[in-house]
Structure 1
Amino acid sequence: MNPNNAPLCQAPDQALKKPGLVLCKNATDCHAHICGPQSLYPYIANRIYTPPDALLPHYEALLDALGVQRSVLVQPSIYGTDNRALLAAIQKNPSRFRGVAVVDWDISDTALEDLHLAGIRGVRCNIVDLAEAKGVLPISQLSALANKIAPFGWHLEFLMHVNEFPDLAQLLSNFPVPVVLGHLGYLKTNLGVKDRGFQNLLSLMREERAWVKLTGPYRITSEARVPYADTNPFAHALIAANPRQVVWGTDWPHVMVKGVMPNDADLVDLLQEWVPDPTLRRQVLSENPERLYQFEGDA
């Protein structure tokens, strides 16, 4: 079904390979999406892409093959504020999964409490769509939402290109909750680590006001396939800024990848170059996600 002609996505690589890197105990995939089944959880009409069903059983098999014990499922844009598919997936294994939802600006405290009990630990805001103008955040709306979620220990996750916000640290001064950004800052690698927006992000990390996900290197690279070597300086800069503020994720099922679809085992192995020190890698994969997403005990 594709009633609005939103382009169909490639399916993820179905091969379940083991990575060369053996991951630490309680390794956590901090960015993945469950899509479908579309027949049960219909996608919104004004979506910009249409994924094939990417369902929990295959994703759990993938986690097991990779040696990943825990996961954070993030609400994809195809569902808007309808979090039913996300919540149903978390409910299948509440000790293994946490979630990041998309909510209405005027969500009630009671609804937030219900989401917290269901395993939600943050709210996603698509700044790519919400920005009032290039470099301008809807800061009053974001701050009001942040104040609502602050009592739960949640964060706001922004989908944003940091190069479009060269004064990001100033824009987020005195912001009520931490922010989390994906895809290593989501700026094209040809802009370089000296980019002003990226440097602002590093400043926020040093102050422990921002987190960054090592995800989606294929979204920022100029290279056609792994190992996406031009992303290495960005990963190294993020770790050097503050290894306590970095997490990792697969970005499965890799929606809207227009080039060569990577295998997730190969994406795991990028960690050997991005975070070569085993102690720091354990921090990124296990200790940091435990703090950010409030995991308890073993999955």
Structure 2
Amino acid sequence: MTRITSWHGAPSRPLYTPPAGAIDAHCHVFGPMADFPFSAKAKYLPEDAGPDMLFALRDHLGFARNVIVQASCHGTDNSATLNAIAKANGKARGVAVVDPAISAADLAALHDGGIRGIRFNFLKRLVDDAPKDKFLDVAKRLPAGWHVVIYFEADILEELRPFMDAIPVPLVIDHMGRPDVTQGPDGVDMKAFRAFLESRDDIWFKATCPDRLDQAKDGIGGDPWNAFADAVAPLVADYQDRVLWGTDWPHPNMQDDIPDDGHLVDMIPRIAPTAELQRKLLIDNPMRLYWPEEA
């Protein structure tokens, strides 16, 4: 398998300046492979993108903290994520991917290492097996204050509803469940996602990944991701206390149209146009989930 470089080699400095204390609440680390080998089941094999690179980007973009989400290429071995959190000196927390049979002691050890949630991935191109019954069992055994992050595509939202409705802890939905943003703010996918958000008041979402959701096709779309801005800004405004933002660096498995991270940051005022919204998106909301002792 050929190793992939999925990130921009020289991201621009954003025109937008995040408020002091801003948090990139969705990013990853890859390896380094010599220290933290990738899973034998990985669907892609990235080049190394370790904590030093992540923290350099954090500083370059004007952020103060990171939430590091376990990437699928590392499977259920969270060592690379835990290593990055440890190196952050209190400026990072994490989301793990675990074997559903994980013990209470091992969950406690993850908590001590800075993990505050677990992730369930339902993208068939990335995972071979997503056992809902076993996922539900481990979701019922999480340490106090944890949540479940779920990654899925819009066409299986209704199929997943009974499973997600049964999870007894807060939910965080990656990339809004990948709606078709070209449908606009009142499109079928966005209406279905709004109905889901209305079903319980502890569902959060990440207003992230314009590069994945608004890709250039037939001369339409791509950076500056206007369809994403138009579709997502009303959602952020209406659910402003349950929304997070992140870069998704180093953009797992992206090989075409790799985004400029500075441009991603410049999307923030387009989906959260006021200082109050920006503070909720970048500070207040992620602090409540990941650093509640300081919020």
Assess same fold via TM > 0.5.
yes
C-alpha change, 1:246 and 1:179, in structure 2 (3 Å) is same
Please tell me whether residue 32 in structure 1 is matched to residue 27 in structure 2. Answer: yes
TM-score (norm 2): 0.89
Answer whether contact 1:221 1:231 (CA < 8 A) is retained.
yes
TM-score (norm 1): 0.88
Alignment map for 1:26-105 (pairs within 5 Å): 26-105=21-100
Please tell me whether residue 182 in structure 1 is matched to residue 174 in structure 2. Answer: yes
Please tell me whether residue 14 in structure 1 is matched to residue 9 in structure 2. Answer: yes
Counterpart code for 2:214: T
Cα deviation, 1:31-53, whole Å, max 9, x if unaligned, reads 11110111111111221111111
Answer whether contact 1:184 1:235 (CA < 8 A) is retained.
no
Equivalent position of 2:146 in the other structure:
154
Deviates more, 1:232-241 or 1:43-52: 232-241
Could you tell me which of 201, 222, 243 is aligned with 1:246?
243
Could you tell me which of 251, 260, 267 is aligned with 2:264?
267
Distance (Å, rounded) in 1 between the aligned partners of 2:108 and 2:78: 15
Alignment map for 1:97-136 (pairs within 5 Å): 97-129=92-124
Please tell me whether residue 202 in structure 1 is matched to residue 199 in structure 2. Answer: no
Cα deviation, 1:186-218, whole Å, max 9, x if unaligned, reads 123245444555434323434323111122111
C-alpha change, 1:184 and 1:69, in structure 2 (3 Å) is same
C-alpha change, 1:179 and 1:162, in structure 2 (3 Å) is farther
Q: What is the CA distance between 1:174 and its match in structure 2?
A: 4.6
Could you tell me which of 232, 235, 242 is aligned with 1:235?
232
Q: What is the CA distance between 1:102 and its match in structure 2?
A: 0.6
Number of positions where the alignment pairs a residue of Structure 1 with one of Structure 2: 289
Q: What is the CA distance between 1:110 and its match in structure 2?
A: 1.0
Distance (Å, rounded) in 1 between the aligned partners of 2:137 and 2:183: 33
Taking only the aligned residue pairs, the percentage that are identical comes to 33
Secondary structure of the structure 2 residue equivalent to 1:148: coil
Secondary structure of the structure 1 residue equivalent to 2:5: coil
Distance (Å, rounded) in 2 between the aligned partners of 1:175 and 1:11: 33
Q: Alpha carbon RMSD of aligned pairs, Å?
A: 2.5
Alignment map for 1:205-224 (pairs within 5 Å): 205-206=197-198, 207-223=200-216
Distance (Å, rounded) in 2 between the aligned partners of 1:237 and 1:203: 14
C-alpha change, 1:221 and 1:130, in structure 2 (3 Å) is closer
Unaligned runs of 5+ in 1: 132-136
Distance (Å, rounded) in 2 between the aligned partners of 1:295 and 1:54: 28
Answer whether contact 1:87 1:118 (CA < 8 A) is retained.
yes
Counterpart code for 1:102: V
Secondary structure of the structure 1 residue equivalent to 2:280: helix
